[in-house]
């Protein structure tokens, strides 16, 4: 049953998450790397970080690993 679900639904879900992350990534020519900016990690109740004017964080380690 798991394999059937993966083929019918899971593969599309994985593809769409990959597309979302790719659309959020910004390429930096100086460092030759991609960055995910303003990302809120798994602690969704934490609304800000010191010295950061907006919500979220650049290159959140958890999100980058999952991406």
User: pLDDT tens across 4-39, in order?
Assistant: 998 888 999 999 999 999 999 999 999 999 999 888
Domain count, the chain: 1
Domain residues for the domain of 49 are 2-66
CB 25, CB 1: distance < 8 Å: no
Chain-centroid distance of CA 15 in Å reads: 13
Residue positions annotated with a catalytic role: 44
* pTM summary value: 0.67
What is d(CA 39, CA 43) in angstroms, rounded to the nearest whole number?
11
Nearest to 43 by CA among 63, 23, 65: 63
The pLDDT confidence band at residue 64, using thresholds 50, 70 and 90, is confident
């Amino acid at each position: 049953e798991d394999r059937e679900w993966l083929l019918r639904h899971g593969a599309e879900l994985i593809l769409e998450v990959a597309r979302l992350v790719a659309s959020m990534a910004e390429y930096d020519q100086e460092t030759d790397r991609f960055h995910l900016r303003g990302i809120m990690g798994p602690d969704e109740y934490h609304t800000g970080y010191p010295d950061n004017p907006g919500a979220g964080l650049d290159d959140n380690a958890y999100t980058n690993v999952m991406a």
